C-alpha cells in the first residue's frame, strides 16, 4: 500500500456553540489541512497520483471555507466548527473531487501543537 499527503491552509473564523471557555467567542485560526491518499498500486508512471494536480484540487476546494466565518456555512450551522468536524467535512466532500482515489484520512491543525484527524 502506498500513501501520499498534500497540505494546504485556510484562514477562517469560528466560535464554538455550547462551549464554556474562550472559544465560545468569535476568533480565528490559520488552519493547516493535510489530506492523505492511499492506493495499492502505482500508475503507469510510477505514481499514486500527481502531487501538482492534487494540490490544485485541494486549494480550489478550500476556497469555499477560506476567509469566512465557518459558522455561517450551511454544514457548520448543523455541526459545530471544531477541528474534528472540519476534518470530517473535508474528508467527505473532497472525496468526491479526487475519486476514484481514496482518501485515507484528513488532519486539521488549529495551531502548531493541536490537530484532529478524521478517517473511516
Write out the residue range of the structural domain in which residue 98 sits: 2-118
DSSP codes, 39-79? ESS--TTS-SS-HHHHHHHHHHHHGGGSSSBGGGSHHHHHS
Q: How far apart are CA 53 and CA 31, in angstroms?
A: 21
Whole-number pLDDT of residue 23: 96
23 catalytic residue (yes or no): yes
Query: What order do you get walking across the sheet with 2-14 strand by strand?
Result: 2-14, 27-39, 102-111, 114-118
120 catalytic residue (yes or no): no
Q: Residue 12: which CATH number?
A: 3.30.479.10
Single out the residue of 107, 117, 102, 119 nearest to residue 40, CA to CA: 102
Q: How far apart are CA 43 and CA 51, in angstroms?
A: 13
pTM: 0.95
Domain count within the chain: 1
From 23, 69, 79, 84, the catalytic residue? 23
- Residue pair 84/98 in contact by the 8 Å Cβ criterion: no
- Determine phi and psi for 78, rounding to 5 degrees: -95, -25
CA torsion angle for 119, 113, 97, 36 (degrees, to 10)?
A: -60
Whole-number pLDDT of residue 26: 98
Whole-number pLDDT of residue 12: 98
Q: Profile the chain (120 residues) by mean pLDDT over runs of 10 residues.
A: 97 98 97 97 96 98 98 98 98 97 97 96
- Residue pair 91/105 in contact by the 8 Å Cβ criterion: yes
Whole-number pLDDT of residue 120: 95
27 catalytic residue (yes or no): no
From 14, 29, 34, 110, the catalytic residue? 110
From 60, 67, 102, 120, the catalytic residue? 67
Amino acid at each position: 500500500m502506498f500513501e501520499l499527503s498534500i497540505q494546504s491552509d485556510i484562514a477562517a473564523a469560528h466560535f464554538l456553540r455550547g462551549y464554556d471557555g474562550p472559544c465560545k467567542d468569535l476568533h480565528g485560526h490559520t488552519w493547516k489541512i493535510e489530506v492523505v491518499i492511499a492506493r495499492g498500486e502505482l500508475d503507469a508512471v510510477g505514481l499514486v497520483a500527481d502531487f501538482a494536480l492534487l494540490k490544485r484540487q485541494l486549494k480550489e476546494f478550500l476556497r469555499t471555507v477560506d476567509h469566512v466565518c465557518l459558522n455561517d456555512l450551511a454544514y457548520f450551522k448543523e455541526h459545530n466548527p471544531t477541528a474534528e468536524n472540519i476534518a470530517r467535512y473535508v474528508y467527505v466532500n473532497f472525496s468526491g473531487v479526487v475519486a476514484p482515489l481514496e482518501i485515507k484520512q484528513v488532519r486539521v491543525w488549529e495551531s502548531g501543537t493541536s490537530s484532529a484527524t478524521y478517517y473511516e
